[in-house]
Structure 1
Amino acid sequence: MSYFELKEPPRREDRLKACIAYGTTLGEVAGRRLRCTLADGERSFTQNSICLLLPALGTMNSIPNSVVLMHGGLGCGSSSHGGNAAVRAGNNQRWGIVKNGTWLSTGLTETDVIGGGETKLARAIIEVDRRYRPAVIFVVASCVPGIIGDDVDGVAEQVQAEVQAKILPVHCEGFKTKIWATAYDAVYHAIGKTLLPNSREISIKEKAGPLINLMNMSSMGRGDEQELERLLKVLGFDVNIFPVFADPDNMRRMTQADLSVSTCPTHDDYMLKHLKDKYGIPFIIRHMPIGIANTGKWLQDVAEFFGLGSQAQAIIACEEAELKAALEPLRSMFQGKKAFVSAGEFRALSTAILLAELGFEVVGIRAFHHDEFAEVEYEKLVRITGTDCPLNIANCQPFEEANLLRRIKPDVFLGHMNGNSTAAKLGISTHVVYNVGLNYVGYRGAYELARRLYRQLKNPRFNRNLSRFASLPYQESWYQENPFKYIKTAGGDGDE
């Protein structure tokens, strides 16, 4: 049975047996499937994490002519305010319009928790349709309706005949999973179940070339999309980017593609398998096009599917030669420098490979979770860095990160914008590992990241000065402990 026949997607803990807590080395992971999630929890002490609702909102708010209706407490969804600049910029870059993310809340109260919130939700859906006339209303189930048993799908089905917009229930009950990558499955599930047609559509318009679905589930900004479009169009391919900033009226084009290509296997496997099973569209989900070698492998795989392998080899050779010349003045700055990377698993590993290609010594990696799709990336990285590089599988947990950073003392730390403060307070130079306004992907991304790191390392004084006046909340005794002490499967006692 297809997962899309279910009301909501399964947790990644169940579907992929994904791991969210481990402390080991790259050599321990490469070449074997790591399974380390325990049924009763992963740590005897846990500091913090995030809810799957946050990454889901990043995608839903990007969809033009849509409204996100949060069914839950008033605070749920408020992170949309912080992400609105990216929504405005993304719409402007792609469509030439400045569109805010539009989200509302049913604002469930204590009375609603006792009596149920289904009536309030039905009224809210009708009012959203009347007031905004969107093409799509995402009805997002947060923790409260999941706990009290509100039937969000049933309400959507009941009200659909009264509104013009398509109603898409999205299940983001944060207490159900500790792996927030399940958010990508939740959004894909809603789109695939409700928006896409029941059968494959064949376009009557003649295509410029083979049509490729280029998957972007918040994996990259517009600059990175343009870099991959550039490489694919040189080979004669027509490109359809999905789902961020994809107009709901044009999403049907997904079913007309000749091939779907992942840009981040962590994000995309759930939807790619659905497109293959329901519409017969083959897919490629092997590499993330970050880094010199990975970009070439990614492009080569796509080209060989259409019998264009030799043409791709010529393009790759030309691009790599040009990039090598551009990087030459920068490389001396990176020699002997140590780098630590923290991000979602595929981004962390592919970025680490790129840093090694630039001349850095990769001395530590933190991945937010681990599943089967990244196994080949671990093997690639081990061939470059060796087997002893520390690996922390952690859904945040900055106390473990602080311990590792004090031990390793890297020269530069690459992490997400809201996760760089630990390294910064230790006086380590930091750089964002992902930002929709910057380039990371393809050959241009490799050069732009190198150029930014060159400038960062040329003058590292800011964070060094910051460390004189800012401190972390951990006692000195913690830095003498095993950083993985509280991970139950890492050899620690797990009982303190």
Structure 2
Amino acid sequence: MSHFALKEPPRREDRLNACIAHGATLGEVAGRRQRCCLPASERSFTQNSICLLLPALGTMNSIPNSVVLMHGGLGCGSSCHGGNAAVRGGNMQRWGVVKDGTWLSTGLTEADVISGGEPKLAEAIVEADRRYRPAVIFVVSSCVPGIIGDDVDGVVEQTQPEVKAKLLPVHCEGFKTKIWATAYDAVYHAIGRTLLPETKAEIAPGKPGKTVNLMNMSSMGRVDELELERLLKALGLAVNISPVFAAPAGMQRMAEADLSISTCPTHDDYMLNHLKEKYQVPFILKHMPIGIDNTGKWLQDVAGFFGLGPEAKELIAQEEAELAAALKPLKPMFAGKKAFSSAGEFRALSTALLLAELGFEVVGIRAFHHDEFAEVEYEKLVRLTGQEYPLNIANCQPFEEANLLRKIQPDIFLGHMNGNSTAAKLGIPTHVIYNTGLHYVGYRGAYELARRLYRQLKNPRFNANLSRYTSLPYQESWYRQNPFKYIVTAGGDSE
């Protein structure tokens, strides 16, 4: 039975045996698949994590003509304030219009927890439809309704005849999973069950030609979409980008493409399998087009599907020659410099590969979780960079990161904008590993990242000065211990 026949997607712990707790050298992980990191592994002490609602909101708020209605406590929507900058910027880049995301909350109170929040949810759905007249309303179930047993899907089913908007129930109960990448499955699940056609026969015939789905589940910003569109169009392919900033009425185009291409296997496998099973749309789920070699492999796989191998080979040779010339004056700055990469699994690994290609010595990687899809990336890294440096599988856990960074002392740290403070307070130059307004993917991304890192390393004074006046809350005794001390394997032993 398809996962999409269920009301909500399975946890990634169950579907993919994904895990969030492991510490070893890269070589000990590469080639061992899930044997290196069992789902039952955990920490005897954990410092923090991220709720899956946060990445889900980033995608839902980007959908044009939509309302995100969160069923839960008012604070569950607080991250929308910070994430709204990306929504405004994304709308401006695509349509030339500055538009905010529209999110509401049922604001459940203590009384609602006792008596149930279903009537309040039904009333909020009707009011959101009346006030905003959206094409879709994402009805998001957070922790509280999951705990008290509110039937969100039942309320949606009963209320749908009363409103014009399509209602999409999205299950983001944070307590159900520790793998917050499950958020991507939750959003794709809602889209697949509600916005796609029932059968492929219902799709109106499109224009003749070769069309690919370029999947972007918040994997990249508009400037990176344009880079990949440029490369795919050079091969004569038409490009359909979904789901971020894709109009609800156009979502059905995902079911009529000739091929689906992932830009991040961590994000996309759930929907790509559904498109293949239900609509016979084949897919490529391999490589993230960050880095020189990865971009070439990504293009070769797409071109090979359409029998365009010679054209891709010529395009890649031309692009790599131009890039090599552009990087030549920058690479001497990187020689001998040590780099640490921290992000979601595929972005952390593919960025580490790019850093090695630029001439950095990769000395550490932190991936937010681990599953089977990244095995090929681990093997590439072993071949390119060696294997005797630490790999930390951790859903944040800055105390482990601080310990590692003090021991390794990298020259540059690449992490998410809300995760760079630990390195910065240690005086290490930091660079954001993902920003929707900056280039990261393709050949343009390789050059632009190198150019930014060159400027960063040329003048690293800011973080050096910052470390003089700030400190981290860890005792010196912690820095002398094994950074993976609190990771407990499935058998019950600490690392």
Normalising by structure 2, report the TM-score.
0.98
Identify which range, 41-50 or 178-187, moves more after superposition: 41-50
Distance 2:316 2:23 in 1: 37
Contact 1:486 1:493 in 2 (8 A): no
Distance 1:331 1:279 in 2: 46
Identify which range, 194-203 or 29-38, moves more after superposition: 29-38
2:279 is matched by which residue type in structure 1? Y
**Alpha-carbon displacement from aligned partner over 1:178-217 (angstroms, at most 9, x marks no partner):** 000000000000000011110114443424x301000000
Distance 1:177 1:490 in 2: 17
Give the equivalent residue in structure 2 for 1:179: 179
Give the equivalent residue in structure 1 for 2:306: 306
1:418 is matched by which residue type in structure 2? N
Q: Does 1:117 align with 2:120?
A: no
Distance 2:324 2:231 in 1: 17
1:330 is matched by which residue type in structure 2? L
Distance 2:492 2:428 in 1: 28
**Alpha-carbon displacement from aligned partner over 1:321-355 (angstroms, at most 9, x marks no partner):** 00000000000000000000000000000000000
1:217 is matched by which residue type in structure 2? M
Residues 379 and 38 of structure 1: CA distance in aligned 2, closer, same or farther (over 3 Å): closer
**Alpha-carbon displacement from aligned partner over 1:96-145 (angstroms, at most 9, x marks no partner):** 22210100000000000000000000000000000000000000000000
2:391 is matched by which residue type in structure 1? L
Q: Does 1:154 align with 2:121?
A: no
Distance 1:345 1:197 in 2: 32
Distance 1:231 1:150 in 2: 47
1:206 is matched by which residue type in structure 2? K
Q: Does 1:93 align with 2:93?
A: yes
After TM superposition, give the deviation of residue 380 of structure 1 in Å. Answer: 0.2
**Alpha-carbon displacement from aligned partner over 1:62-82 (angstroms, at most 9, x marks no partner):** 000000000000101110010
Q: Does 1:206 align with 2:207?
A: yes
Contact 1:486 1:492 in 2 (8 A): no
Distance 2:95 2:204 in 1: 22
Question: Which consecutive residues of structure 2, in runs of 5 or more, have no partner in the other structure?
Answer: none
Contact 2:49 2:395 in 1 (8 A): yes
Secondary structure at the aligned position of 1:134 is classed as: coil
Question: Which consecutive residues of structure 1, in runs of 5 or more, have no partner in the other structure?
Answer: none
Distance 1:387 1:447 in 2: 26
Secondary structure at the aligned position of 2:242 is classed as: strand
Give the equivalent residue in structure 1 for 2:108: 108
Contact 1:61 1:68 in 2 (8 A): yes
After TM superposition, give the deviation of residue 455 of structure 1 in Å. Answer: 0.1
Contact 2:39 2:490 in 1 (8 A): no
Distance 1:492 1:484 in 2: 14
2:34 is matched by which residue type in structure 1? L
- Write the mapping of 1:43-82 to structure 2, written as runs, cut at 5 A: 43-82=43-82
Q: Does 1:489 align with 2:489?
A: yes
Contact 1:171 1:186 in 2 (8 A): yes
Secondary structure at the aligned position of 1:68 is classed as: strand
2:250 is matched by which residue type in structure 1? N
Distance 1:492 1:183 in 2: 29
Identify which range, 359-368 or 249-258, moves more after superposition: 249-258
Distance 1:108 1:203 in 2: 43
- Write the mapping of 1:2-401 to structure 2, written as runs, cut at 5 A: 2-35=2-35, 36-39=37-40, 42-200=42-200, 201-207=202-208, 209-401=209-401
Give the equivalent residue in structure 1 for 2:452: 452
Secondary structure at the aligned position of 2:24 is classed as: strand
Give the equivalent residue in structure 1 for 2:421: 421
Normalising by structure 1, report the TM-score.
0.98
After TM superposition, give the deviation of residue 492 of structure 1 in Å. Answer: 9.3
**Alpha-carbon displacement from aligned partner over 1:3-60 (angstroms, at most 9, x marks no partner):** 0000100000000000110000111111121343454x61000000110000000000
Give the equivalent residue in structure 1 for 2:437: 437
Distance 1:490 1:402 in 2: 25
Contact 2:42 2:490 in 1 (8 A): no
Secondary structure at the aligned position of 1:100 is classed as: coil
Residues 453 and 491 of structure 1: CA distance in aligned 2, closer, same or farther (over 3 Å): farther
After TM superposition, give the deviation of residue 256 of structure 1 in Å. Answer: 1.1
Contact 1:106 1:124 in 2 (8 A): yes
What number of residue pairs does the alignment pair up? 493
Distance 1:202 1:284 in 2: 23
Secondary structure at the aligned position of 1:445 is classed as: helix
Contact 1:484 1:492 in 2 (8 A): no
**Alpha-carbon displacement from aligned partner over 1:160-183 (angstroms, at most 9, x marks no partner):** 000000000000000000000000
Secondary structure at the aligned position of 1:46 is classed as: coil
Percent identity between the aligned chains? Answer: 82
After TM superposition, give the deviation of residue 93 of structure 1 in Å. Answer: 1.2
**Alpha-carbon displacement from aligned partner over 1:306-333 (angstroms, at most 9, x marks no partner):** 0000100000000000000000000000
Distance 1:232 1:5 in 2: 34
1:78 is matched by which residue type in structure 2? S
Distance 1:366 1:475 in 2: 22
1:76 is matched by which residue type in structure 2? C
After TM superposition, give the deviation of residue 95 of structure 1 in Å. Answer: 2.1
Residues 245 and 38 of structure 1: CA distance in aligned 2, closer, same or farther (over 3 Å): closer
1:95 is matched by which residue type in structure 2? W
Distance 2:261 2:124 in 1: 37
Residues 123 and 294 of structure 1: CA distance in aligned 2, closer, same or farther (over 3 Å): same
Give the equivalent residue in structure 2 for 1:464: 464
Contact 1:141 1:173 in 2 (8 A): yes
After TM superposition, give the deviation of residue 89 of structure 1 in Å. Answer: 1.1
Distance 2:377 2:72 in 1: 39
Contact 2:197 2:203 in 1 (8 A): no
Contact 1:484 1:490 in 2 (8 A): no
